[in-house]
Structure 1
Amino acid sequence: MKEINLTTKISVYLLDECTETEKKLIEEAKRATKNAYARYSNFKVGAALLLENGKIITGNNQENAAYPSGLCAERTAIFFANANYPDEKIVAIAIAAYNNGKFTKDVITPCGACRQVLLEVENRHKTPMRILMYSKEGVYAVNSIKDLLPLSFGDNMLK
């Protein structure tokens, strides 16, 4: 038997240590939580994308009584960006979650489906995407979705 060790570098910043651009992106993700439709879970997630042209696109989770029919904040924002700015690279995404009247203390990471979509975006544009995950305790950051999805399924598997 052979073992493989996978290591991921995750940087953890205080909000004040982030760049001005990152702070703005995080604030937009936090603001996006206000319009989330989270009638059933009351767990509101916001995402903000920074496009290469400097434009910021936001999205939030949209729930449905038939739970699998809803959509996460990350994919809401990404699909809007892909539909309206198909040739613009997404260079960064910030994610924030609001629950029980406050932003979460624990870091919120993209779900498995969102990770797969983020990977598709990186592969499509051949550009890694900085991922900022906000919590009241700090901002967790990785420089590519591959850091959160090391054994990924991509388009190279379909050839």
Structure 2
Amino acid sequence: MKNIKKLEFHCELQAQSYQDLNPSEWELVQKALEARNRSHSPYSKFQVGAAVRLANQTIIQGANQENAAYPSGLCAERVALFAAGVQFPNMTFEALAVCVPDTSTNLPFPCGGCLQVMAEYEYKQQSGLELFLIYPAEELVFRAESTRHLMPFSFNESHLPE
């Protein structure tokens, strides 16, 4: 019998209240909360906001954008990341905050597509992207030091043939 290898994944995120955030973190959270107001979500009625802080301390906002042709929409995280990538192509992304509606009873975990995009930026910049997952119903923020904490087996260019 061949050697069987075991892969395990364990993720533990600590929550903290809004009051426990430092001023820079609170500013990023506020920008994500504010970005929800620019969501175009007439179909799901689920407004999501995101904000990415760059190494130069610029904050770029994003909000989900839906379309009647459902696959044509885009999540708030990717809107913010792609906008930041276009406006500041060589700048490191330090942190990304994501929030869901105040009435949401689900935690604000990004979808797999957004996690993959985050992982791509981490690979490109060779450093982690801190995540702030905002749960407004309880005024809590769940933190992850890197996308790898939520998606440890991401695909990147090192997997492609040369």
Coarse TM-score class (shorter-chain normalised): over 0.9
Instruction: Report the structure number with the largest CA radius of gyration.
Output: 2
Partners of 1:18 and 1:104 in 2: CA distance: 22
Structure 2 unaligned spans of 5+:
none
What aligned pairs does 1:10-159 form with structure 2 within 5 A after superposition? 10-98=13-101, 102-135=102-135, 136-137=137-138, 138-159=140-161
* Structure 1 gap ranges (5+): none
Aligned mates of 1:39, 1:95 — CA distance in 2? 20
Percent identical across equivalent pairs? Answer: 35
SS at structure 1 position matched to 2:8? coil
Q: Please, what TM-score do these two structures have when normalized by structure 2?
A: 0.91
Structure 2: how far apart are the matches of 1:125 and 1:110? 20
Say how many residue pairs are matched. 156
Q: Secondary structure at the match of 1:44?
A: coil
Higher strand fraction: Structure 1 or Structure 2?
Answer: 1
Separation of aligned partners in 2, 1:62 and 1:134: 19
> What TM-score do the two structures reach when normalised by structure 1?
0.93
